[in-house]
């Protein structure tokens, strides 16, 4: 049995003040100094801790970043003077897709590498758009689940990138079918390039080392590569159109990415000539027509991997009524099955993958693996405040971060995502992420459940 | 044992003396509604009445306010802080007794309480929490003038978008005291006791470990008062629960914590927990901090380590294996009914029928949005279907298989109000299991900190001896008794409007429901 995939982690505390959801506790006038709030009501001892913290403060800070929102101090205050509200700084983080809750949970995972666990039930909307409109299935009694997270059973999360053999044939004891090169990584995740707006002095170095630590692959623009050769096994160059191919470095890599273009086939041949053992991914932006282009490319004998990329919120780029990444992936996946070529293509999907459940759901919808970038940036305490412009101050001071801090936080986040992937796969009874690909039987979709349940009872849905 | 009707001849034939009933004298708890105010000094209010320095202490506000917001204690020169939680807010303007308008010095202002926005969530909005607290305090439906939305939450789907279609007037007039809200838990006719409960709900499993002994006992005593049940969860059976044995379900789950043949013999119902809605497929999880000496002793484990109930039962991989489990319990306790608690995968209907064929009396389906003491966040939202989808398909499949009237279908996982109870029954359940709402009645604000450190800061879901003292058993019992009373009133009101004499008539009546997101034109002639 191969060695189990395990990511070494250690806690990496934040360097910026935390931003709590319930960050504002306001004293109105007339405090009796009874200290009820301090001594009795706050079971977390936050008041005292914060007082000590403020006393030793060397930087500007906000009060009560770790308030748990239990209302105990508010309700036990002798004179009823305390008032709590949602921290406006918390509310203004991110956007409607990358919500403050997503940012907060990402920070927590980047700090601790632990799976977020909480009490009480689910607190959110019944369903939502995108990935929130589907549920993963689980096993009950007659289908065995897998106890992977506690280590009693091994759940494989490794995937192969490239063209798989459609069948085996032997000539004597030798394989008679020409096998295309394959790249195996232990987790269905690749780190994608960050947008130019997020270019930071050390970012590529941090990402490259994170890829090494987690044994996955990071896509880095060949023009920006300044790392060391020892990292190249975990690097996939993105070689833009017209750019010179870095031949020596390329020969030490396993995967490379090129943009889709009219000359893509020639470019593939050019790269294969330099390094026949390399796997080539073609990046297809999911603009209008992107889905059809991806399907068309897949029919080509030369193309091994297609990397479809939606916008950061998972939407079709530039479309007036954009489709979501999961729906576009299902469409492509289904089309490739119908054409009988699904296994001759590896489908990587990126854009809108914000939480570990998105990884599992996107794979269920047909991707072989996913690509991420923004969650790793958030791991560095980015607020997604969109202030990454010359002259603007980054609240997370990303331009000054230490490489060890950055690598540690990103590694922790990837480890936490891996553990959560194992959790949901265990619940589904899946032992291999490769078998999860396109297995929509292990998922339930909002529109189907609504139709089967309420459609029969109440007719047509109003917003259809 | 008044509610237990056992055929005499049969029972003597099949039941050995030592398992006929519990050997411990049962304590009486009376079903009386008494006011049980909040145990906190300051109640959370929707509105704040602010008094400024222009106040001349004329007392006009106290004179006009019908709700007791303004209090000038005898002998005191200054008014006490307004009792904001009693204020009905802007709705008061229409009464003609609006203190802000009546104040001759313009010293009063009414504001929305910013605190209120920090309370609650989509599933449990602040309104629903405050309304539940009101019901637990008074035993009655919150007065209409407070405008609390207590029928549903704000999740935008499921129960929250379902409404009843009431007739313009009831087809027959039925007095409230003539309406029967009881349901039967044994429909198999297998000679085991025909247990009836007075309300179509019982308390869900919460282990000692996930909640305090005060919480467990409060639930048990309320169950006794209302002739229904509570469940031990998977964490052992406290000796202090024994005076309520006849109203306790003990749970057998994968970790078998505290499960002994002797504990199985104490109770009228034994529940197999295969999965929990909040974390289906993942088993139980008690974090180390909550594994105190008392908890570890009960669970026969080591203090301070995290305790996992594995998933699944590694002795069950088929319905036949499940049947062996049931046979084991039926052999150990010959009077017990068997409940099988499962989650809601796509094939939940098949699982339900299989479970019936294995010999269960109660099929308990627990939907994905249920409560928990601790669960990975990824599980709560993403695994298995919400209960609203599962009820109908299980009900229909049981009916299609011709066994619907031989098994009791119980639903749980997000039942927050009496209207949710009624909607679940109209979708096809016989009754429901509730959990979170009982904790809210005890003062839970759903801060989700049940699992961390010493546990619940409100003293409910904690095993910390100091925190557990924040609440006493009598108060906790009364709050839950009151809540049940208010819920029953709501349910009886609904049945009256439909002209139904029994809650059992409501079962499967989807024709009485409508969905706000649908045209609701099925069966309408065009």
Q: Report the CATH number that the domain containing residue A383 is assigned in CATH.
A: 3.20.20.70
Distance, CA of A285 to CA of A309 (rounded, Å): 5
Estimate the crossing angle of helix A325-338 against helix A290-298, to 10 degrees. 30
Nearest to A121 among B115, B285, B370 (CB): B370
Sign of CA dihedral A178, A184, A189, A190: negative
Which residues of chain B are within 8 Å of residue A66 when distances are taken between CB atoms?
A: none
Read off the pLDDT band of A31 (50, 70, 90).
confident
The length of chain B is: 526
Domain of A30, in residue numbers: 24-92
> What is the predicted pLDDT for the residue at B509?
98
Which residues of chain A are within 8 Å of residue B378 when distances are taken between CB atoms?
A: 115-116, 355-357, 420, 423-424
B22 pLDDT higher than 70: no
> What is the predicted pLDDT for the residue at A65?
64
Q: Give chain A's mean pLDDT.
A: 90
**Is A113 within the bounds of a domain?**
no
Distance, CA of A278 to CA of B438 (rounded, Å): 61
Q: Would you call B472 exposed, middle or buried from its count of C-beta atoms within 10 A (0-12, 13-18, 19+)?
A: middle
Distance, CA of A390 to CA of B451 (rounded, Å): 44
A373 pLDDT higher than 90: yes
Same domain? For A76 and A182 the reply is: no
A423 pLDDT higher than 80: yes
In whole angstroms, how far apart are CA A203 and each of A386, A456, B504?
17, 53, 64
Does A449 touch chain B if contact means CB atoms closer than 8 Å? yes
Which residues of chain B are within 8 Å of residue A426 when distances are taken between CB atoms?
A: 281-282, 311
> What is the predicted pLDDT for the residue at B11?
46
What is the residue extent of each domain of chain B? 4-32+174-515
In whole angstroms, how far apart are CA B402 and each of A17, A88, B396?
62, 57, 10
Same domain? For A290 and A371 the reply is: yes
Distance, CA of B155 to CA of B161 (rounded, Å): 9
Closest CA to B135 of B415, B417, B445: B417
In whole angstroms, how far apart are CA A213 and each of A5, A228, A233, A250?
12, 14, 12, 21
In whole angstroms, how far apart are CA B264 and each of B218, B237, B256, B522?
21, 9, 12, 48
Same domain? For A80 and A193 the reply is: no
Which residues of chain B are within 8 Å of residue A353 when distances are taken between CB atoms?
A: none
Across residues A8-26, what is the average pLDDT? Answer: 84
Question: Cβ(B196)–Cβ(B2) under 8 Å?
Answer: no
Of A34, A68, A92, which closes a domain?
Answer: A92
Q: Encode pLDDT of B155-197 as tens digits.
A: 999 999 999 999 999 999 999 999 999 999 999 999 999 999 9
Question: Cβ(B363)–Cβ(B410) under 8 Å?
Answer: yes
Q: Encode pLDDT of A383-396 as tens digits.
A: 998 877 777 888 88
Question: Cβ(A44)–Cβ(A68) under 8 Å?
Answer: yes
Distance, CA of B508 to CA of B429 (rounded, Å): 7
Same domain? For A82 and A166 the reply is: no
Q: Could you give the percent of chain A with pLDDT greater than 70?
A: 92
Question: Cβ(B371)–Cβ(A120) under 8 Å?
Answer: yes
**Is A103 within the bounds of a domain?**
no
Q: How many domains does chain A have?
A: 2
Read off the pLDDT band of A227 (50, 70, 90).
confident
B2 pLDDT higher than 50: no
Same domain? For A86 and A171 the reply is: no
**Is A171 within the bounds of a domain?**
yes
Q: Would you call A350 exposed, middle or buried from its count of C-beta atoms within 10 A (0-12, 13-18, 19+)?
A: buried
Q: Could you give the percent of chain B with pLDDT greater than 70?
A: 95
Does A340 touch chain B if contact means CB atoms closer than 8 Å? no
> Which of A357, A454, A455, A456 is most worth mutating to test chain B (most B CB atoms within 10 A of its CB)?
A454
Of A64, A92, A120, which closes a domain?
Answer: A92
Q: What is the chain B residue with the closest CA to A132? A: B382
* Residue with more model confidence, B247 or A30: B247
Question: Cβ(A229)–Cβ(A205) under 8 Å?
Answer: no
Closest CA to A415 of A150, A112, A120: A112
Which residues of chain B are within 8 Å of residue A70 when distances are taken between CB atoms?
A: 445, 447, 449, 457-458
C-beta neighbour count of A21 within 10 angstroms: 16
Distance, CA of B24 to CA of A449 (rounded, Å): 48
Inter-chain residue contact B351 with A427, CB threshold 8 Å: no
Nearest to B520 among A120, A361, A459 (CB): A459
Of A77, A92, A107, which closes a domain?
Answer: A92
Read off the pLDDT band of B497 (50, 70, 90).
very high
> What is the predicted pLDDT for the residue at B142?
93
> What is the predicted pLDDT for the residue at B485?
98
Inter-chain residue contact A118 with B377, CB threshold 8 Å: yes
A436 pLDDT higher than 90: yes
Nearest to B519 among A80, A84, A462 (CB): A462
Does A440 touch chain B if contact means CB atoms closer than 8 Å? no
Same domain? For A57 and A179 the reply is: no
> What is the predicted pLDDT for the residue at A62?
46
Read off the pLDDT band of B308 (50, 70, 90).
confident
Q: Encode pLDDT of A143-168 as tens digits.
A: 666 777 666 778 999 999 999 988 88
> What is the predicted pLDDT for the residue at B481?
98
Q: Encode pLDDT of B412-459 as tens digits.
A: 999 999 999 999 999 999 999 999 999 999 999 999 988 776 778 899
Inter-chain residue contact A141 with B285, CB threshold 8 Å: no
The whole-angstrom distance between A453's CA and the closest CA on chain B is: 6
Across residues A425-444, what is the average pLDDT? Answer: 93
Number of cross-chain residue pairs from A and B with Cβ atoms under 8 Å apart: 277
Same domain? For A84 and A178 the reply is: no
Does A426 touch chain B if contact means CB atoms closer than 8 Å? yes
Distance, CA of A390 to CA of B256 (rounded, Å): 61
Nearest to B368 among A135, A459, A460 (CB): A135
Q: Encode pLDDT of B35-74 as tens digits.
A: 999 999 999 999 999 999 999 999 999 999 999 999 988 8
A59 alpha carbon, distance to own chain's centre:
32
> What is the predicted pLDDT for the residue at B14?
47
Across residues B90-111, what is the average pLDDT? Answer: 94
Inter-chain residue contact A122 with B457, CB threshold 8 Å: no
Distance, CA of B452 to CA of B448 (rounded, Å): 9
> What is the predicted pLDDT for the residue at B6?
52
Distance, CA of B112 to CA of B116 (rounded, Å): 8
Distance, CA of B165 to CA of B391 (rounded, Å): 19
Which helix (H) or strand (E) segment holds residue A268: the answer is: helix A264-274
Across residues B81-106, what is the average pLDDT? Answer: 93
> Which of A361, A421, A427, A456 is most worth mutating to test chain B (most B CB atoms within 10 A of its CB)?
A427
Inter-chain residue contact B457 with A70, CB threshold 8 Å: yes
Sign of CA dihedral A396, A399, A402, A407: positive
> What is the predicted pLDDT for the residue at B1?
42
Inter-chain residue contact B316 with A141, CB threshold 8 Å: yes
Across residues A96-125, what is the average pLDDT? Answer: 94
Same domain? For A189 and A81 the reply is: no
Superfamily of domain B4-32+174-515: Aldolase class I (3.20.20.70)
Across residues B91-106, what is the average pLDDT? Answer: 94
Which residues of chain B are within 8 Å of residue A121 when distances are taken between CB atoms?
A: 123, 278, 369-372, 380, 414, 436
Distance, CA of B512 to CA of B497 (rounded, Å): 11
Same domain? For A350 and A225 the reply is: yes
Inter-chain residue contact B376 with A139, CB threshold 8 Å: no
Q: Phi and psi at residue A175, in whole multiples of 5°?
A: -70, 125
Across residues A208-226, what is the average pLDDT? Answer: 96
What DSSP state is assigned to residue B27? P
**Is A213 within the bounds of a domain?**
yes
**Is A153 within the bounds of a domain?**
no
Which residues of chain B are within 8 Å of residue A423 when distances are taken between CB atoms?
A: 282, 376, 378-379
């Amino acid at each position: 049995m191969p060695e189990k995939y395990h990511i070494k982690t250690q806690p990496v505390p934040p360097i910026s003040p935390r931003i709590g959801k319930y960050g504002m506790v306001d004293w109105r006038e007339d405090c009796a100094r009874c200290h009820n709030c301090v001594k009795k009501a706050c079971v977390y001892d936050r008041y005292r801790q914060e007082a000590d913290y403020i006393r030793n403060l060397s930087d500007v800070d906000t009060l009560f970043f770790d308030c748990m929102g239990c209302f105990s101090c508010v309700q036990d205050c002798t004179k009823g003077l305390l008032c709590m509200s949602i921290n406006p700084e918390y509310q203004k983080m991110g956007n409607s897709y990358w919500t403050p809750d997503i940012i907060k949970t990402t920070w927590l995972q980047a700090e601790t590498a632990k799976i977020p666990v909480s009490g009480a039930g689910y607190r959110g909307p019944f369903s939502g758009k995108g990935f929130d409109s589907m549920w993963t299935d689980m096993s009950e009694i007659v289908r065995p689940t897998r106890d992977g997270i506690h280590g009693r059973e091994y759940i494989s999360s490794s995937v192969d990138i490239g063209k798989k053999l459609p069948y085996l044939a032997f000539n004597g004891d030798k394989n008679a079918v020409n096998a295309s090169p394959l790249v195996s990584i232990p987790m269905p995740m690749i780190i994608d390039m960050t947008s130019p707006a997020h270019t930071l002095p050390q970012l590529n170095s941090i990402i490259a080392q994170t890829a090494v630590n987690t044994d996955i692959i990071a896509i880095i623009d060949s023009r920006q590569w300044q790392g060391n050769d020892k990292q190249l096994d975990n690097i996939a160059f993105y070689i833009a159109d017209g750019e010179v191919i870095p031949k020596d470095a390329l020969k030490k890599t396993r995967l490379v990415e090129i943009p889709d273009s009219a000359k893509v086939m020639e470019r593939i041949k050019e790269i294969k000539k330099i390094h026949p053992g390399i796997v080539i991914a073609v990046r297809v932006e999911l603009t209008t027509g992107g889905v059809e282009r991806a399907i068309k490319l897949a029919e080509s004998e030369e193309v091994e991997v297609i990397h479809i990329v939606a916008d950061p919120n998972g939407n079709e780029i530039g479309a007036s009524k954009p489709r979501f990444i999961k729906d576009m992936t299902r469409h492509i996946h289904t089309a490739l099955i119908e054409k009988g070529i699904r296994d001759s293509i590896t489908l990587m999907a990126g854009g809108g993958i914000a939480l570990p459940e998105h990884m599992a759901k996107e794979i269920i919808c047909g991707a072989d693996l996913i690509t991420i970038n923004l969650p790793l940036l958030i791991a560095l305490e980015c607020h997604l405040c969109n202030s990454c412009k010359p002259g603007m101050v980054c609240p997370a001071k990303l331009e000054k971060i230490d490489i060890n801090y950055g690598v540690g936080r990103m590694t922790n986040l990837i480890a936490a995502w891996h553990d959560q992937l194992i959790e949901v796969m265990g619940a589904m009874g899946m032992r291999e992420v490769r078998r999860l690909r396109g297995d929509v039987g292990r998922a339930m979709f909002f529109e189907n459940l609504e139709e089967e349940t309420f459609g029969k009872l109440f007719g047509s849905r109003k917003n259809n | 044992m008044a509610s237990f009707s056992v055929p005499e001849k049969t029972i003597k034939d099949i039941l050995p003396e030592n398992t006929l009933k519990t050997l411990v004298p049962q304590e009486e708890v009376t079903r009386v509604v008494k006011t049980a105010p909040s145990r906190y000094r300051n109640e959370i209010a929707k509105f704040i009445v602010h008094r400024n320095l222009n106040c001349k202490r004329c007392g006009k506000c106290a004179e006009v306010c019908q709700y007791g917001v303004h209090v000038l204690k005898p002998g005191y020169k200054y008014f006490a802080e307004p009792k904001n939680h009693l204020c009905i807010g802007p709705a008061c303007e229409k009464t003609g007794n609006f203190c802000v308008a009546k104040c001759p010095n313009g010293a009063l202002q009414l504001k929305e309480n910013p605190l209120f926005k920090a309370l609650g969530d989509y599933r449990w909005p602040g309104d629903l929490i405050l309304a539940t607290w009101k019901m637990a305090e008074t035993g009655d439906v919150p007065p209409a003038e407070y405008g609390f939305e207590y029928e549903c939450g704000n999740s935008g789907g499921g129960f929250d978008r379902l409404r009843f279609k009431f007739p313009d007037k009831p087809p027959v007039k039925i007095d409230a005291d003539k309406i029967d809200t009881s349901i039967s838990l044994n429909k198999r006719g297998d000679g085991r006791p025909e247990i009836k409960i007075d309300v179509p709900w019982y308390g869900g499993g919460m282990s000692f470990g996930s909640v305090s002994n005060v919480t467990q006992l409060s639930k048990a005593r309320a169950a006794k008062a209302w002739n229904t049940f509570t469940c031990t969860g998977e964490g052992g059976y406290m000796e202090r629960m024994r005076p309520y044995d006849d109203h306790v379900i003990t749970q057998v789950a994968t970790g078998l914590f505290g499960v002994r043949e002797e504990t199985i013999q104490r109770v009228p119902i034994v529940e197999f927990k295969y999965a929990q809605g909040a974390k289906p497929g993942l088993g139980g999880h008690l974090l180390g901090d909550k594994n105190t000496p008392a908890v570890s002793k009960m669970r026969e484990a080591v203090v301070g380590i995290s305790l996992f109930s594995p998933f699944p039962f590694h002795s069950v991989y088929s319905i036949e294996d499940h049947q062996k489990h049931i046979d084991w319990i039926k052999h150990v306790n010959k009077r017990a009914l068997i409940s099988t608690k499962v989650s809601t995968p796509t094939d939940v209907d098949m699982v339900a029928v299989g479970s019936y064929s294995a010999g269960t009396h109660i099929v308990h389906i627990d939907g994905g949005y249920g409560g928990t003491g601790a669960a990975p966040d990824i599980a709560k939202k993403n695994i298995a279907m919400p209960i609203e989808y599962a009820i109908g398909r299980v009900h229909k499949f049981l009916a299609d298989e011709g066994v619907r009237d031989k098994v009791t279908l119980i639903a749980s996982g997000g039942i927050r109000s009496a209207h949710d109870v009624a909607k679940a029954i109209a979708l096809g359940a016989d009754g429901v299991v509730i959990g979170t709402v009982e904790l809210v009645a005890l003062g839970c604000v759903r801060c989700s900190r049940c699992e961390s450190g010493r546990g619940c800061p409100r003293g409910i879901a904690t095993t910390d001896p100091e925190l557990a003292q924040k609440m006493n058993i009598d108060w906790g019992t009364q709050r839950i008794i009151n809540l049940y009373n208010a819920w029953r009133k709501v349910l009886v009101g609904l049945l009256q409007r439909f002209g139904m004499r029994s809650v059992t008539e409501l079962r499967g009546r989807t024709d009485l429901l409508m969905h706000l997101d649908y045209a609701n034109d099925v069966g309408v002639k065009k």
